[in-house]
Structure 1
Amino acid sequence: MISELGTECLAVARWGGKAARLAELALHGHPVPPALCLTTDDHAGAATERAIGLWLSSTRPRRVILRTSLASEDTEEHARAGATRSEAGVEPVADRVLDRVRALLTHYRDVAGSVLLQEEAHCAFGGVAFVDGAETTIEVADTTSGVTAGQAPLTRVTVRDGSLRATRLRGPVPVLELVRKLLPVLGRVHDHFGWAADVEWGYVAGGVLVLQVRPITRELRP
């Protein structure tokens, strides 16, 4: 099965939590990079080849990132961060993209979920944010995958009841500008789902992009 983000709601059990939540956000107008999703039981035949070619020609991404989304990851019980694959910097040439998609589909053939073919965001900063009611903690890295890949954040910001506390760990970060752009987006994501959210984000010239949303897992709660 094939679906483009923002055109319909996707079931977690069929498409995986990452794809389902991003599709829901895109459908409701939240800032999510465009993506084409293929369930892991897709055979990557002629129809898939045509769909990928059409998506590349209409989206015209400078680079593509391939991401996997499994039904068993990112639940309230277990995050399983790092359990799935991402391939960044893929050249947007149909044959090359199709080869990488086929490899991922083969690897995850027996696992419920999907592969996302997504426009790779070229972000000045990225990171994660933990949004839980009155308190938001933002960790900033100089790449979108830095913090999630284990890199120490450049800056950690905590916002609680309107007060802001920033800890600069390394490198310059435009904290006030970032917080001004991030907080409204994070607040809308939290309000949309209604649960404490772990949000991966990217900061570009035009504003903030939401790259992934998962529940803050019970295993990480104090």
Structure 2
Amino acid sequence: MMLASWKVRAVLAAAVVTWLGLACPVKAQLGLNPISGTKPPPPPASILSISSLNALQVPGRKFRISGQVTGMRPGSSCGVSITGAATGVAMCNSSGNFDATFDVPTPGPIQAIAGDGQNQSAPVGANLVNNAPTVTVQAVQGTGNAWTFSGTVGDECPAGLVVSLSGPPGVNGATATVLDGGAWSVTVTLGPNAAGMVTATVTDWYSLTGSGQTYFMMP
């Protein structure tokens, strides 16, 4: 009797649920939507891309390499692998920007590939270049026998380079350190009849040289 009573109650409960419109098919397969019975669409694939890649020479045979990666997955971390003339990894911030300084013994081509642990970008290339420096020189007489020799160095990274002077006694061997922007100057005291040709020579971070000349004489 108790078993029959339980069966009757179960049938009545099922009938009530069906009448109320609450009954729905339940799919047992993993990953199916319990309402529609269909699989949800897969999340969009991450398409990493290096949208910009920049290289700037900095003092000491180094290059600063920066740029931006797009297509990062939300919450993921991203690194940009650099190979070639520079070797290492630059990590991205949450906006995809990366910026790191690398030792570059010899300038040349590099390749950059971004990765987030699951996906990676197509490679992007750049060429790290170093050209021979240039230097200008002029002579201006100051008070008495003081002479100022000055000029401008043209280079990818002029700050910190050294200009050396050669010429008459008092000028020969004088040096000046190049400032940001390439300006340099040195003041020396010469004899009352000093005159002659002065050569300014500069050597860049990769041992390439440039020179310029000027002639000076007492008025």
Question: Where is the strand percentage greater, Structure 1 or Structure 2?
Answer: 2
Structure 1 and Structure 2 fold alike (TM over 0.5) = no
TM-score where L is the length of structure 1: 0.22
Question: Where is the helix percentage greater, Structure 1 or Structure 2?
Answer: 1
Larger radius of gyration: 2
- Higher RCO (CA-CA < 8 Å; seq separation 6+): 1
